[in-house]
Amino acid sequence: MTMTLKNLSPGGLLQLILLLVTLHYRVGEAVNSEGIALQDFKQRLDDPVGALSNWNDSDITPCNWKGIVCQNLTNVVISINLPSRNLSGIVSPQLANLKYLEQLKLHNNNFCGKLPEPFSNLTNLRVLNLRKNAFSGYIAPSLGMLKNLRIMELANNKLEGPIPESFGSLVTHLKYFNVSNNQLSGKVPEEVLRRFNGSSYLGNANLCGVSGVGLSPCTPSPALAPASEPSLPLRPHTSSLSLVQIILMSVGLFLAFKFGIAVLLILRWMRKDTDIEISLGAGGKIVMFQGGHGVAPTSREILRAMRLIRKKHIIGEGGYGVVYKLELKDHPPMAIKKLKACLESARSFENELDTLGTVKHRNLVKLRGFCSSPSVKLLIYDFLPGGNLDQLLHGEKMEKDFVVDWPIRYRIALGVARGLAYLHHGCAPRIIHGDVSSSNILLDTEFEPYLSDFGLAKLVTANDTHVSVTVGGTLGYVAPEFAKSGKATEKVDVYSYGVILLELLSGRRAVDESLSDEYANLAGWVRDLHSNGKATEAIDEYLRETVAGVDLDLLLEVAYHCISLNPHDRPQMNKVVETLEIFTETGYSPSGTSARTSHADPSKPLASDIPGFRPIGSYFIFDT
């Protein structure tokens, strides 16, 4: 049908214009900005019962979506009401864009992660009900700024740390407040306690304060406590028993006590050993990736072996969970990591792992597969028999006169750099490790290093304990800008790599209380030494004596650049690799001893030619 504007009646023309306008409206603005925020909320969740299935992003407003209530005239969202919908995952910080939100009711679900800090922007919020979820971490003081809040229900979660002082002004207009059954600690702020002295704090063992129900008094002073009174009758002069009798009685009691403990321990041990460590529950799946050396074990084989895993197979525990060794009949052993952390959603978990499964490099621990079930998430890796770098450098082996020689250290430095460079520059999409630390560098029997846990930082919302930021603001491996913003970039990895390099060069831990009064962290200490022109003092004395010093100074300079406070001053990992490889090019091979052959070939690059690296002080990088 051909139709020109000429033979249209005025009515038809109007209709056409209306049609065009509506079309434009539909195409141009699929859903309004509040809808976009809510779609992000949905994206990050697991919704096993389809509670959000009618959240269709081709609607213009979210007002007809289940659980959403809008104001009638303006169509702004004023309530999110999704209790008991079996939802899990983290709550999108984008909800802070719902400026007119008055009620947020998500109780009886399985939400996890921290309480999103941007919630403090929801200045119209009147009801916040998050009871009975798995929220964890500290309560942000900024939540105390919710001026219109009337009901704050946080009971039955896993919240830690103190009740912020800022809640003092919050509670003055609050009608209901409950933080029972969390893991809060410290003193309840006085104003909060004055306003709510009833059963608002039950089941927080380390929370204290005067006069609240279920609270113990703070700072119980042992000198004032009358608890020492009952022991008085045992004193010889107040009792008719002889000294010998008392001693015999005490010995008898002591032995009976020990015996009781032993029986308990044995019982517990017997029970534990028969405990099944990994139970998949119903409806899980195991995905094994192909590739890698040898034939991959089948899911069935993995499943069979997994049933035999017991407590004794635990090889380590870290921020992400417990790691087990999995013995297989016809294949080399594997390592299974049981994630305890809070996941954004199972869907994004699987997508992300499909990507990580394709990553293959000599210096990266191969991800062999994963297992995803509602109750448990497992990662299956190649097993590395040589322990981790932290144990190698700072573990017990050192005490038994086991010295980690320079060729080993160099091999590790180069291998780790290559692994990271591959993640940053050799992968599509590029991968940011996000958690480079010496405990994430695993070794084989030849001391070849393998980076583990790459990409997990993005996947798992880190719990508070994992990032090693201590109270004084001391940082081990974490770049300062990352600690502030939480935004991971390649340069964050480069910083952590610099700390690893310093660990290898100095033999010290990333966080070492003995360094100086000012700096408990290695990076700060070295930066300080460097600014005083004494950087070489950072190098391990043993290394300085056994290796010709000039090589180490270049490496120290590389490390110094990596730990620059300004991310832009840090080199890229492929640049670092290039620099480290100079040593192999000039005959300084990782497997050789410190045989520094003369620099015969003048066409080979000098370290000082590489942009960003200058020799320290008056040292020459390559003397002839």
Ligand X SMILES: *[C@@H]1O[C@H](CO)[C@@H](O)[C@H](O)[C@H]1NC(C)=O
Ligand Y SMILES: Nc1ncnc2c1ncn2[C@@H]1O[C@H](COP(=O)(O)OP(=O)(O)O)[C@@H](O)[C@H]1O
From the list ligand Y, ligand X, Mg ion, none, pick the one residue 373 interacts with, judged by a Cβ distance below 5 to 8 Å according to partner type: none
Binding track, positions 269-308, relative to ligand Y; x by CB under 6 A: ----------------------------------------
Which segments within 340-443 are labelled E, that is strand?
342-343, 367-372, 377-382, 441-443
* Maximum separation of any 2 CA atoms in the chain, in Å: 124
From the list ligand Y, Mg ion, ligand X, none, pick the one residue 335 interacts with, judged by a Cβ distance below 5 to 8 Å according to partner type: ligand Y
From the list ligand X, ligand Y, Mg ion, none, pick the one residue 56 interacts with, judged by a Cβ distance below 5 to 8 Å according to partner type: ligand X
Task: Note whether 526 binds ligand Y by CB under 6 A.
Answer: no
Residue range at the interface with ligand X (CB under 6 A); choices 199-207, 290-298, 474-482, 550-558:
199-207
Q: In the range 439-458, which residues lie near ligand Y by CB under 6 A?
A: 439-440, 442, 452-453
d(CA 99, CA 174): 20
Nearer CB in complex with ligand X: 181/440: 181
Single residue of 16, 29, 147, 198 touching ligand X by CB under 6 A:
198
- The site for ligand X, by CB under 6 A, has a size of 22
Q: Output phi, psi for 345, to 5 deg.
A: -165, 155
Task: Note whether 133 binds ligand Y by CB under 6 A.
Answer: no
Q: In the range 200-239, which residues lie near ligand X by CB under 6 A?
A: 200, 202, 211
Token pair 């952390």 is found at 341
d(CA 160, CA 163): 9
From the list ligand Y, ligand X, Mg ion, none, pick the one residue 384 interacts with, judged by a Cβ distance below 5 to 8 Å according to partner type: ligand Y
C-beta of residue 404 within 8 angstroms of C-beta of residue 440 = no
Question: Within 13 Å and on the Cβ side, how many CA atoms surround 581?
Answer: 13
From the list ligand Y, Mg ion, ligand X, none, pick the one residue 590 interacts with, judged by a Cβ distance below 5 to 8 Å according to partner type: none
Task: Note whether 382 binds Mg ion by CB under 5 A.
Answer: no
Task: Note whether 388 binds Mg ion by CB under 5 A.
Answer: no
- Range 532-539, long-range pairs (CB < 8 A, 24+ positions): 533/617, 535/560, 535/616, 536/616, 538/502, 538/505, 538/506, 539/505, 539/506
From the list Mg ion, ligand Y, ligand X, none, pick the one residue 58 interacts with, judged by a Cβ distance below 5 to 8 Å according to partner type: ligand X
Single residue of 86, 373, 572, 584 touching ligand X by CB under 6 A:
86
d(CA 538, CA 522): 9
Task: Note whether 71 binds ligand X by CB under 6 A.
Answer: yes
Residue range at the interface with ligand Y (CB under 6 A); choices 109-117, 260-268, 316-324, 399-407:
316-324
Closest residue by Cα to residue 596 from 547, 558, 561: 547
C-beta of residue 336 within 8 angstroms of C-beta of residue 278 = yes
Tell the smallest beta-carbon distance from residue 225 to ligand Y (Å).
Answer: 40
d(CA 90, CA 333): 34
Single residue of 136, 181, 438, 521 touching ligand X by CB under 6 A:
181
Nearer CB in complex with Mg ion: 296/436: 436
* Residue 338 annotated in ligand binding: yes
Tell the smallest beta-carbon distance from residue 417 to ligand X (Å).
Answer: 38
Single residue of 33, 148, 199, 298 touching ligand X by CB under 6 A:
199
Going from the C-alpha of 590 to that of each of 409, 557, 585, 587, the distances in angstroms are 9, 20, 11, 9
Nearer CB in complex with ligand X: 199/546: 199
H helices of 462-520, in order, are 480-485, 490-506
d(CA 213, CA 73): 45
**Pairing relation of β-strands 314-318 and 377-382?**
unpaired
Going from the C-alpha of 383 to that of each of 165, 426, 452, 462, the distances in angstroms are 47, 24, 11, 24
Q: In the range 331-360, which residues lie near ligand Y by CB under 6 A?
A: 335, 337
Which tokens is 113 given? 């992660």
Single residue of 35, 89, 318, 571 touching ligand Y by CB under 6 A:
318
Single residue of 153, 277, 448, 453 touching Mg ion by CB under 5 A:
453
Closest residue by Cα to residue 151 from 207, 102, 186: 102
Output DSSP code: residue 174: -
From the list ligand X, ligand Y, Mg ion, none, pick the one residue 563 interacts with, judged by a Cβ distance below 5 to 8 Å according to partner type: none
Task: Note whether 22 binds ligand X by CB under 6 A.
Answer: no
Task: Note whether 154 binds ligand Y by CB under 6 A.
Answer: no
Q: Which of 47, 275, 401, 435 is catalytic?
A: 435
What residues have CB less than 8 Å from 17, skipping those under 6 apart?
A: none
From the list ligand X, Mg ion, ligand Y, none, pick the one residue 72 interacts with, judged by a Cβ distance below 5 to 8 Å according to partner type: ligand X
Q: What's the start-to-end Cα distance of the chain, in Å?
A: 86
553 noted as active-site residue: no
Cα of 392 vs its chain's centroid, Å: 23
- Which residues belong to the active site? 435
- Chain residues that interact with Mg ion, rule: CB under 5 A: 318, 440, 453
Interface residues with ligand Y (CB under 6 A)? 315-321, 323, 335, 337, 365, 381-384, 387-388, 439-440, 442, 452-453
- Per CB under 6 A, residues contacting ligand X are 49, 56, 58, 71-72, 86, 96-97, 118, 121, 155, 178, 180-181, 194-195, 197-200, 202, 211
